[in-house]
Amino acid sequence: MAKKYTFVRVANNTTNGVALGVDNQDINVHKIIVGAPVGGGIVRLYDISNPVNNSTTNMAFMLTFPTFSTTNINNGPYTFDFGEDGIRLGEGGNIMADGDMQVTVVWSEN
Which CATH number, 2.70.98, 2.60.120, 1.10.4160, 1.20.120, labels domain 3-109? Answer: 2.60.120
CB-hemisphere CA count at 13 Å for 104? 12
C-alpha distances out from residue 17 to 2, 49, 52, 69, 103, Å:
23, 9, 8, 28, 12
Annotated domain spans of the chain: 3-109
- Characterize the bridge pairing of strands 93-97 and 18-20: antiparallel
Give 5-16 pLDDT, tens digit per residue. Answer: 999 999 999 988
The band of 85, judged by pLDDT with boundaries at 50, 70 and 90, is very high
Average pLDDT score, the chain = 93
pLDDT above 80 for 1 = no
Contact of 28 with 85, CB cutoff 8 Å: yes
108, 30 in Cβ contact below 8 A?
yes
pLDDT tens-digit readout, 6-54: 999 999 999 889 999 888 899 999 999 999 999 999 999 999 999 988 8
**What value does the mean pLDDT take over residues 42-67?**
93
The model's pTM is: 0.90
